[in-house]
Amino acid sequence: MTVLYLVTGPGDTADIALAEGITEELIARLSDVAGLRVTSRYAALRFRARGPVDPQRVGRDLGVRYVLQGSLRHIGDRVRVAVEVTEAATGYNAWAQTYDQSLRDVFAVQDSVAVRVAEAVRGRLTRAERARLAAAPPTTSDAYRAYLAGRAAIRGRTVAAAARAIAAYYRAIALDSSFAPAYAGLAHAYNVAADWGWDVPGVTYDSLGPLATRAARRAIALDSLTSETWLGAAMGARSDSPELALDYNRRAVRIDSANIEALHQLAWGYYGTGELDSAIAIEQRVTSRDPYFAYAYAGVAEFLSIAGRPLEALAWASQGLSIDSGFAALHRQAAAANLHLGRWAAARAAAARAVELGDVPAPNRALVAIASLGGGDTARARAAIDSLGSTLRGKLRRSPSGLSRTDAGYLAGAYAQLGQIDSAIAWVGRVAPWQRRFHAARFLHHWMYDPLRSDPRFQALFAEMR
């Protein structure tokens, strides 16, 4: 079966986060029922923005027998959740129920729905199965709702979304200072912000790495038995030690081998220690386990680009875009692969589309400049690269220890392609040391930096990382 995201009223981000949290908890719980195969949340994401959907079409698209869908409405301190399960082949309802709960007791709904749905589609449950499906949330209702809001926000992959996620996780911690998943989520959010080069309000770039590490250590101290905790800890540890982060990634997968996000981040853990072949193989395994997980296609494409395999990189980016054409990072990876193949117009269009979809501006500005250079417009390329440099020098004044690889790193690659070797090496040196260490494979193998590799100054920057 597939569990579609509960539909909410327009514009209320708190209700959206609550609906997402209940939906994903249902997916997780029903996935544990023996004999019941449940598609991932990434499969359901394909249908979330389409409004009411035809369950028979969903059944055909995803190859499932049953489709669960419903709605969540919040009025005052009451929440109404209406849920139905449809047999996809016939269009007939197999089960339906409407729940009217106080907001504080809303998580009792997911307990009841999980049990009733499992019984409707699979049959009688054992006592142990019923107990697992009706497990109580690991914290208070208010803290859990704040945690869900953070988890929903960080998926937006924008600076505003990261700021909302961080605020929500802190709210959850204020309500329950022993709630480990909130600290793990905080470590994740800080690491993503640092890696993508975001200016999070009230937080300097220099402090993002240490804050991620501190949150990760607190999460482990509180709970070392869950995959989510070790996953958050791994994200936080990347600014401290790529080797330690990889160890934490492995622990997360050992605890829950079905955790797709943990397996995806394990690929990045191997990348961070320079093991590109392992990173590619694991990320490809993610796509075979969950063919709707767009992040994995972008990851495979990026690793292949770094390994000097642009045709394969473009094929993976294109495959990902056929599944999720609105995923900005896939367009950026398509742009990078097209540049390597000399397809200047296609690269420029892909980078522009990535920015339209909310991707980080700096790397796409660098890619567009390289496309202009490849197309023969050197003056335009130089002006664009110098303009990006001016922007990033202002950012560097606020972050004296260095910038992210998405900022300074891409600018360095653009200067390298322009032939301004001194400027390129200077900007490589302005990548924050921990970012340079974690992304060493990119600098040492990606085609953008080919003109720098024989320069002793460039070699020295990475010799000191060992």
pLDDT per residue as tens digits for the range 391-435: 999 999 988 889 999 999 999 999 999 999 999 999 999 999 999
In the sheet where 2-3 sits, what is the strand order? Answer: 2-3, 66-75, 78-87, 93-102
Say whether pLDDT at 365 is over 80.
yes
Say whether pLDDT at 302 is over 80.
yes
Write down the pLDDT at residue 136: 66
Span of 113-117, 271-275, 446-450 with lowest mean pLDDT? 113-117
Contact 237, 251 (CB under 8 A): no
Say whether pLDDT at 12 is over 70.
no
Write down the pLDDT at residue 49: 61
pLDDT band at 30, cuts 50/70/90? confident
Query: With 0-12 CB in 10 A as exposed, 13-18 as middle and 19+ as buried, what is 336?
Result: buried
What is the average pLDDT across 53-66? Answer: 90
What is the average pLDDT across 65-74? Answer: 90
Output the average pLDDT for the chain: 90
CB atoms under 10 Å from CB of 312, counted, come to: 17
CATH T-level topology, domain 139-257: 1.25.40
CATH T-level topology, domain 2-136: Rossmann fold (3.40.50)
Between 178 and 29, the higher pLDDT residue: 178
Query: Which residues does residue 67 pair with via DSSP β-bridges, in sequence order?
Result: 2, 86
Contact 212, 190 (CB under 8 A): yes
Map out the domains of the chain as residue ranges: 2-136, 139-257, 370-466
3-class secondary-structure state, position 7: strand
pLDDT band at 11, cuts 50/70/90? low
Torsion angle of C-alpha atoms 140, 143, 145, 146, degrees rounded to 10: 180
pLDDT band at 64, cuts 50/70/90? very high
pLDDT (tens digit per residue) in 84-123: 999 999 999 889 989 888 877 777 777 788 888 888 888 8
Span of 31-35, 45-49, 205-209 with lowest mean pLDDT? 45-49
Write down the pLDDT at residue 408: 96
Between 373 and 109, the higher pLDDT residue: 373
- Give the tokens for residue 49: 């923005």
What is the average pLDDT across 249-274? Answer: 94
Say whether pLDDT at 128 is over 90.
no
Say whether pLDDT at 145 is over 90.
no
Write down the pLDDT at residue 350: 97
pLDDT (tens digit per residue) in 309-331: 999 999 999 999 998 898 899 99
Q: How far is CA 55 from CA 60, 65, 84, in A?
A: 9, 10, 11
* Chain center to CA of 306: 20
Between 14 and 167, the higher pLDDT residue: 167
- Give the tokens for residue 363: 């790397």
Q: How far is it, in rounded angstroms, from Cα 308 to Cα 310?
A: 6
